[in-house]
Amino acid sequence: MCERTAADQPSASTTDAIEAACAVSAQGCDGDVELIHLCREFKALEDMGRSSFPGGINHIENDADRDRYMKPICDMQEAILARICELRAVTKDAMIARAQALVAFSPDLLDEPSAGYWDQRLLAALLRDMTAQRPLASTIDAEFLRLAARAQEAQAAFVASVERWADVVHMPPDAEAEQDRLFLVADDLRRQAMSMPARTAADLRAKARMVLDTIGLDDNDVLPPGDQDFPAWSLARDLLGGWA
């Protein structure tokens, strides 16, 4: 929602409203309580800010008045965001809270395009499952995991082929055809798997691995915060519980 232009200080009533929005109780396991609390604060502030725009329940028609209203909200969000990005999600609840904060700020990330960049489509599918208004099922979705495993196998075979012929100027036609086939097989299996909802923590981790398969990483398998794929990479890394 930010960055927004704003001026002056908020009124006492505005400050009271902001403080009330931040009084969100934290729930979750030890180590992630702070992160969950901050994500909920961030989301509450985002909802408050959006309500002042056209269509919101607290719509402020005058732009200057709305800027003054938004200034303290943006300042608090910026401070909260720094800590949210610094903390590492460990539990499922913390990962879901982080995903919900991201969707609150950029709800269009849930709009999975029928075509376009793979990272956008995969991130939309991942966020859709993580922010679904239902608890994760306790049973493993065997069909989904079967497709995901086959996609990983095909991806591994494709990567092995690329590495094998990386230093060869002219690949043999049959090797090139096989490499193309492996790419298409992996892509097709990945599309099938990603179109299915993730019902368990294991499903979410499998989707995270497929997200990482589509992101170009450096030699250390990391991305800088400024990279356009950083949000997807960071979320997938947290889901996998470390550097995958």
pLDDT for residue 20:
45
DSSP 20-57: HHH-PPP-SSTTTHHHHHHHHHHHHHHHHHHTTSTTST
pLDDT for residue 27:
38
Phi, psi of 36 (to 5 degrees): -60, -45
pLDDT truncated to tens, each residue of the chain (244 aa)? 555 444 444 445 545 544 444 443 333 444 578 888 888 889 888 888 888 888 877 788 888 888 888 888 898 899 889 889 888 888 888 888 889 889 889 888 887 666 667 888 888 888 888 887 544 443 446 778 888 888 888 888 888 888 888 888 788 888 889 989 988 998 888 888 888 877 777 788 888 888 888 887 666 667 778 788 888 888 888 888 754 4
Query: 180 by DSSP, 3-state: which?
Result: helix
pTM metric for this prediction? 0.45
- On whether the CB atoms of residues 200 and 137 are closer than 8 A, the answer is yes
pLDDT for residue 22:
42
Any idea where the domains of the chain sit in the sequence?
A: 12-105, 118-239
